Amino acid sequence: MTSHAADTAPAAPARFSHREIMVTMSGLVIAMLLAMLDNMIVAPALPTIVGDLGGLNHLAWVTTGYILASTVATPIWGKLGDLLGRRITFIASIAVFLVGSVLCGMSQDMAQLIGFRALQGLGAGGLMVGVMAVVAEIVPPRERGKYQGVMMAVMPIAMIGGPLVGGFITDHLSWRWAFYVNLPLGVAALAVCWFTLAKLPRGTGRVRIDWTGSALLTTWITALVLITSWGGTEYDWASAPIIGLAVVTVLAFVAFVIVERRAAEPIMPLSVFRNRNFTLAGILSFIVGFAMFGGMTFLPQFQQFVQGASATNSGLLLMPMMISMMVTSLAGGAVISRTGRYRALPIAGTVLMAAGLALFATMGTDTSRTMTSLYMVVLGAGMGCLMQTTMLIAQNSAPLRDVGAATGAATFLRNMGGSLGVSVLGSVYAHTLTHSITADAGSAATGASASSAARMTPELLRSLPDAARHLFQQAVTDGIGAVFTWGAVVAATGLLIALAIRHAPLRGFGEAKEQSAASADATTDGAELAKAAA
């Protein structure tokens, strides 16, 4: 009986020394850089890609397909890590990402590129959740803040270096190298992780994949993203396709909940949501994704069209936000590790993020880059307080055996917030910009200008007469103001969620081992009682 209990109990975490953690982190940093850098490098190459492959109408799906696939894959990879072990699933996700990158570079038309970008996104979903889950496996929650703070330092490198590298590749090589450049980084990550993660547990060995739950998850997420992408643009909100997608979303979601409650190994264990702090951290992650990713996606529009920055320089202009985020993330991690207290960070983070977004909503055509940089510092400080803390709370609130699924669920909610934020706020931006152009001029000629707004480029804008250029810049400013206003409203609701979070002591490895032992004892006692009753 004791042997059986030991088999079914969650494995106690392997102890890693500080040196082993830092060596392991080197591979994780490369993998995270790989995931974050990809979109930053590809973005400057998209106009050239469209010119080469055609299919301008499908351009958005080059990004949407990637985000959608990574969002759907995130909880699946997290659960596979619980079942098979972190090492094999993390290495597999890197391999899938690299295969997708090579195929993207070999694409001959837009349909192939979109499909291979989706494959790339499947791997990317495993990279992000894998990094966080491995850190959770090798570092106790009490010490995790300072190490996750180091991981956050990767973001400035990706955000700033990505556009520079992508612009250079596009100008001097071929757009296909925007995908091939992933290979050396990916091979390095594979080599490092293959050796450094060998000490991790191998998983339960009981591989039962919840294919029904995975299919339903994919269905309702895809339908929901299509609603937010097509509603009010491709189709009227009251049209049959949108109503049909809404029905599919609701039915698939209800079926997903029913299946997950009954599945032996659910792809997203709903039991983790019974913990108050986990649910609140998940909601806060969704709000952070919606407000942050949704809002920041459109800032380069203001920088390039209104402030006259180049595509490459717009990445450099994000440096104040990235530095502020890195500083507060590292400082917050140090405070958590020293004191074990974390509740003040999400509260301060939501206040700062809402304030930063509200400041961006006040921008006008005469707002200087200096003022924009100051706004970025405020927003970056809020992001630094929130990004790692929400994940830490979610992981600390879940049982050790479900830490991968919990990490996947929290990452999934953040990505979902970002996907819906980009879609919803994108519709707000496009509608406000077009309405502003039409309302300001009120002529047939202006109507023509509104219809050509989607084809406007910074180079074309500079060639327009002063009056037309000012009209378009004002319309962009109005659209950006609407985007950040709604982003600030959503972020402000996060304060209510943050205030509701209760402090729970952060587990160390001693507590984790006790939890594993208690689980084994409980299983043994239950088996012996059942035998006695029989």
Of 12-26, 249-263, 323-337, 394-408, which range is least confident? 12-26
* Residue 374's pLDDT band (cuts 50, 70, 90): very high
Entry pTM: 0.69
- In the block, tokens 């270096």 appear at 161
Query: ∠ CA 236-418-218 to the nearest 5 degrees?
Result: 70
* Residue 156's pLDDT band (cuts 50, 70, 90): low
- In the block, tokens 């190459």 appear at 45
What is the arithmetic mean of pLDDT over 17-29? 73
H/E segment holding residue 3: helix 2-8
- How much is the pLDDT for 355? 93
Q: Using the predicted structure, report yes or no on whether residue 99 has a pLDDT greater than 80.
A: yes
DSSP class of residue 506 equals: P
Look up residue 240 and give its two tokens. 């049959």
CA distance 468 to 276: 54
Number of separate helices (H) and strands (E) present in the chain: 24, 0
CB 379 within 8 A of CB 353: yes
Q: Using the predicted structure, report yes or no on whether residue 57 has a pLDDT greater than 60.
A: no
Q: Using the predicted structure, report yes or no on whether residue 314 has a pLDDT greater than 60.
A: yes
What is the arithmetic mean of pLDDT over 257-273? 79
* Residue 294's pLDDT band (cuts 50, 70, 90): low
Look up residue 357 and give its two tokens. 């977004």
Query: Which of 285, 306, 445 is closest to 366 using CA atoms?
Result: 306
Q: Using the predicted structure, report yes or no on whether residue 100 has a pLDDT greater than 60.
A: yes
What is the arithmetic mean of pLDDT over 63-87? 76
- How much is the pLDDT for 534? 36
Q: 358-387 b/e with 16+ CB inside 10 Å = b?
A: bbbbebeeebeeeebeebbbbbbbbbbbbb
Q: Using the predicted structure, report yes or no on whether residue 377 has a pLDDT greater than 60.
A: yes
Of 8-22, 205-219, 443-457, 489-503, which range is least confident? 443-457
* Residue 41's pLDDT band (cuts 50, 70, 90): confident
CA distance from start to end of the chain = 15
Residues sharing a CB contact under 8 Å with residue 397, sequence separation 6 or more, in sequence order? 272, 275, 277, 278, 281, 406, 504
Q: Using the predicted structure, report yes or no on whether residue 357 has a pLDDT greater than 50.
A: yes
How many Cα neighbours within 13 Å face the side chain of 19?
0
Q: Which of 61-75, 285-299, 323-337, 352-366 has the highest mean pLDDT?
A: 352-366
CB 76 within 8 A of CB 130: no
Q: Using the predicted structure, report yes or no on whether residue 462 has a pLDDT greater than 60.
A: yes
CA distance 96 to 77: 12
Q: Using the predicted structure, report yes or no on whether residue 12 has a pLDDT greater than 70.
A: no
Q: Using the predicted structure, report yes or no on whether residue 184 has a pLDDT greater than 80.
A: yes
Query: Which of 208, 193, 222 is closest to 98 using CA atoms?
Result: 193
Mean pLDDT over the full length of the chain: 74
- How much is the pLDDT for 250? 93
Q: Using the predicted structure, report yes or no on whether residue 166 has a pLDDT greater than 90.
A: no
CA distance 9 to 13: 12
What DSSP letter does each residue of 230-296 carry, written as one string?
Answer: HBTTTB-TTSHHHHHHHHHHHHHHHHHHHHHHH-SS-SS-GGGGGSHHHHHHHHHHHHHIIIIIHHH
Question: Who wins on pLDDT, 17 or 281?
Answer: 281
Residues sharing a CB contact under 8 Å with residue 64, sequence separation 6 or more, in sequence order? 225, 229
Of 130-139, 217-226, 519-528, which range is least confident? 519-528
CA distance 453 to 451: 6
Q: Quick count: other Cβ atoms within 10 Å of Cβ 459?
A: 8
Bridge partners (DSSP) listed for residue 231 = 235
Of 296-300, 377-381, 443-447, 506-510, which range is least confident? 443-447
Bridge partners (DSSP) listed for residue 235 = 231
* φ, ψ of residue 235 in degrees (nearest 5): -135, 155
CA distance 147 to 233: 43
Q: Using the predicted structure, report yes or no on whether residue 134 has a pLDDT greater than 80.
A: no
What DSSP letter does each residue of 352-382 carry, written as one string?
Answer: HHHHHHHHHHT--TT--HHHHHHHHHHHHHH
- How much is the pLDDT for 531? 38
- How much is the pLDDT for 431? 77
SS3 for 106-146 is CCCCHHHHHHHHHHHHHHHHHHHHHHHHHHHHHCCHHHHHH
CB 24 within 8 A of CB 196: yes
CA distance 377 to 372: 9
CA distance 336 to 314: 33
What is the percentage of the chain residues whose pLDDT exceeds 70? 70
What is the arithmetic mean of pLDDT over 441-456? 51
What is the arithmetic mean of pLDDT over 324-337? 78
What is the percentage of the chain residues whose pLDDT exceeds 90? 5
- How much is the pLDDT for 517? 40
Query: Which of 63, 42, 53, 68 is closest to 125 using CA atoms?
Result: 68
Look up residue 135 and give its two tokens. 């850190």
